[in-house]
Structure formats: C-alpha cells, structure tokens
Structure 1
Amino acid sequence: MTHPTARIEQAKREVEQARRQLASTTGALQYRLKPGNLVSSAWEGVREKSGEMANGALRTVKDRPVATSGVLAALVIFLAREPLWRLASGFLGENEDDVDAGTIEADLDHHDKGYDLTAPTIGRSKKEGVKV
C-alpha cells in the first residue's frame, strides 16, 4: 500500500497537469475565436469552395460547349434586351422624314365619305418643324 503523502503528491501532480491542459485548451480556443482568425478561416473556406465551383464549371463547359454557349447567348440577350430592341426598331422603324407612329394623319382628298375629316395633312418633315 502506498503512503498517504505519496497519494496526495500524485493527486497534486494530476491536478497540475489537468490545469495545464485546460489552460492550453483555453488558449487555443481564444486564438481560434479571435475575429481576425475567424475571418481568415472563413475566407479560406470560401476560396476552397469557389475553387471547387470554378473547376466544376470548367468541366461543364468542356463537356458541353454547345449548351454552355446557348445559355450564355440567352443570358446576354436577356441582359441587353432593351438596347437590342432599340437597335432592331431603328433598322425596322420609320425613316426620319416619316410622321411619328403615335400621330394620326387626316387626308382630306382620299378618305371614306362616311366620316367627317376636319384636320389637314401636315406635309413637313421633323427636320423642318412647324412654323407659326
């Protein structure tokens, strides 16, 4: 049987060792929970994930170039729909000398006799303007 003071000394050593392990664990936790370290760790995770996503996207593009081109073309057309519409309507629209599409013309010489047309036809271009 061991001496009681030896058991007390052994218990003190075990308590001191447990205290050191706790201090070490606490220090490690404090280091890992610093805001700068958390941000760095999160940023590293984002970089790894984005790298994986980029590799997956590149594999998809290499495996299916026609489908990828079609999707990209549709996306570009969708994003540029208004400028493309203006461009197309400029090619297909009226000439500069034509009357605006929103105006109503009244031709008193050639009209349906069942209707009374009292507005005269204006024969000026947009460039000439209206003179008073």
Structure 2
Amino acid sequence: LTDRTIEDNMRFVLNATGWKDKKLIAERTRDVLEKVGLRSKLKKMPHELSGGEQQRVVIARALLNDPEIILADEPTGNLDPETSEEIMLLLKEISRGGTAVLMATHDYHIIRTFPSRIIKCENGKVIEDAKIV
C-alpha cells in the first residue's frame, strides 16, 4: 500500500487477518522485517525503498501469518540481476525453513542458477516436469 509506512503495511495485513493485540502485532512485524533484512526500514514509505527492498516488503507481508505456501509470480521480473539473486536467495531460505515456494518466471537464468523442481506449462498443459540439480 503506497500511502502507508512499511510498519503500517504490515499492521494492515495482521489486522485484516484477525490479529488484535498491538504488542504481538508490533513484535511480529519486527520479526518478519528482520527475516527479510528490512527492520531498519520500518518507518519508511514504499517510494523511499529500492525495487529490491519493495519486493522484500511483499515477501514479508506474505510471511506474516506463517503460510504453508508462498505463490510468487515473477518475483524478480523488474529487478536487476544482482537484486534478483538476493530475492532468489531469500526465497530459497524461506523454502529451506519449511514453507513451500511456488514461483512463476520466464527467466531461464534464474531456473538454471537456482536448481529445483521445474514444471513447464504451455497453453494450459504441463509439457515438462523435472528436477534440476
């Protein structure tokens, strides 16, 4: 949400999903932002962040309620190669922590650089299902 600080963005999600305790909300917000390396950006507005930092905020919001799966649609689409790698490393760390990450991408470099299970679809049909090591 572009009209709110990063902290208020996090609070909005938690309030919308039933969190009531302000102390727990503040604690969870700090914990999740720490996990994505943005705790120091708590009071910043989205326009004050880089593209990579904005993407990390999106990931932090997704992590707030400890989901079993994260759906990431082109999470590196508008980022430079270095920032893309940072985001992929973060998603990989999240996956290692037990959260499934399902990602859509057109970036074959990302696919080759971060081995995983690849399911290729065309015209609504699975045409390839392989584990890249």
TM-score (norm 1): 0.18
Larger radius of gyration: 1
Where is the helix percentage greater, Structure 1 or Structure 2? 1
TM normalised by structure 2 equals 0.18
Of structures 1 and 2, the one with the larger relative CO (CA 8 A, separation 6+) is: 2
Answer 1 or 2: which has greater strand percent.
2
